[in-house]
Amino acid sequence: MDFSYDDEQVALRDAVRGLVGKTYADHDHRRSVTAEDPGHDEQLWARMAEMGLLGLPFAEADGGVGAGPVEIGIVCQELGRVAAPEPYLAAVVLAGGLVAACGTDQQRADVIGPLAEGEGRPALAHDEPASPVTASQDGDAWTLSGTKEPVLHGGSASVLVVTAALPEGGTGAFLVDPADATVTAYPVYDGSRAARVDLDATPATPLGEAGRDLSSSIATVLDLGRVMAANQALGAMRTALSATTDYLKSRKQFGVTLNTFQDLTFRAADMYVSLELTQSMVDWATMVVATGDAEALADAATRVGLQASRGGRHVGQEAIQLHGGIAMTAEYSVGSLVAQLTLLDHLLGDGGVHLRRLADRIDDHGLVEPLG
């Protein structure tokens, strides 16, 4: 039982903070970067590759670093601290994660290698606005038809990792060249990018063994994504609170600083409570990932997802309210943090979705046991 980082993890955190935090220290930089495609800082992305961050979760044989979930969580938290628009979650954790989990040796070499080098970026096309995307087989050739949307960072992807209903039942995943699909990119409210991907008998390569149901692998990668999204949300919450307390100490009204008003300081104290509860849950869920137990991960992902949703909304909403009008402006950083918290909340199922799942399962246990 240990909730603290070891020396190497502290060094990683400091290095990532130095790089990412420095890049977005000036909020104007974030504004100018997100104003144009691809919606993030490609120089920073290249530096992250140099530092080994983009290959962090992957096996060394695939061109990765072979680090554990705690290290990935550290990167996500640091990105969240500055509301970085970089597609780390989308490309590395989700799309890269699924290829690493299910791809053939060749597919892993083709996708993971370039991703880790910063030279190619996969995007996961999973969500569907209407009916499921279906896969069809003709001999060894596969095609996909239907629409995937929103596909986070789909517009700048070098390869699309598309989930689809298999002809024999179950869900498979396929690699699709974006040039073969119709990709319509657009900005998301937090400055990042998403896309609509239309597929119409589009050629696709099955990820791993053709025709195999990958439902459980997909579910596990999405669960990992939920835990990492919560890590990123935690980082954003921490900055939202510190920006708020700094502001309360410096902003004057009625001739005094705002921290003179007890109502405001008490609400900041409640934000701290939400933050610390979220931190505990994020640390725990990240450690559950490390156990490699998919069922335990599914439970932990749901639980941390609910806590991060509740905590993120509370801290984000109060951060804006306690700042007042300034936090309503795009010019000020708190709005970006809240926008990103909102995106992270809804990316892989929001608090309500998680709560419904947990409510269905209350008879499965007596006490909830964090230590198993």
Partner 1 sequence: MRLELSEDDQAFREEMRTFFTSEVPEEIRQRVIEGEELSKDDIVTAMRVLNDADLAVPHWPEEWGGRGWSELRRHIWYDEMQRAGVPPPLAFNASMIGPVIAHFGNQEQKERFLPPTASAEIWWAQGFSEPDAGSDLASLRTTAVRDGDDWVVNGQKTWTTLGQHADWIFTLVRTDPEAKKQRGISMLLIDMSLPGVEVRPIELIDGGFEVNEVWFSDVRVPGDLLVGEENQGWTMAKFLLGNERVGVAPVTATKRALARLKELAADTLADDPLSRSRVAELENELLALELTALRVAAHSADGEPHPASSVLKLKGSELQQAVSELAVDLAGSGSLASGAGDDSGVPAWQRRTTPRYLNYRKASIYGGSNEIQRQIVASRILGL
Interface positions with partner 1 (CB under 8 A): 1-6, 9, 70, 241, 245, 248-249, 259, 264-266, 268-270, 272-273, 276-281, 283-284, 286-288, 290-291, 303, 306-307, 355-356, 358-363, 366-368, 370-372
Minimum distance from CB of 328 to partner 1 (Å)? 22
- Judge whether 141 and 124 are in contact, CB under 8 Å: no
Q: In angstroms, what is the minimal distance from the CB of 4 to partner 1?
A: 7
What element of type H or E holds 122? strand 122-125
Q: Please, which residues have CB within 8 angstroms of residue 325's CB and are 6 or more apart in sequence?
A: none
Our CB check for partner 1 shows the closer of 59 and 269 to be: 269
Measured from the CB atom, the residue of 139 and 365 that comes closer to partner 1 is 365
Relative to beta strand 193-206, strand 252-253 is unpaired
- CB of 250: closest distance to partner 1 in angstroms? 11
Instruction: Choose between 95 and 289: whose C-beta lies nearer to partner 1.
Output: 289
Taking the least distance from each CB to partner 1, the nearer of 65 and 109 is 65
The β-bridge partners of 199 are 146
Q: What distances in angstroms separate CA 289 from CA 116, 223, 296, 298, one per listed residue?
A: 21, 9, 8, 9
Cβ proximity to partner 1: between 205 and 307 the closer is: 307
Q: In the bound complex, what is the minimum distance in angstroms from residue 222's beta carbon to partner 1?
A: 19
Amino acid at 316: G
Contact assessment for residue 64 and residue 57, using Cβ atoms and an 8 Å cutoff: yes
Name the residue with tokens 């390869």: 159
Amino acid letter for position 192: S
Residue closer to partner 1 by CB (options 151, 224) is 224
- Where is 184: in which H helix or E strand? strand 182-187
Provide, rounded to whole angstroms, the least separation between the CB of residue 338 and partner 1: 19
Residue 65: CB minimum distance to partner 1, A? 17
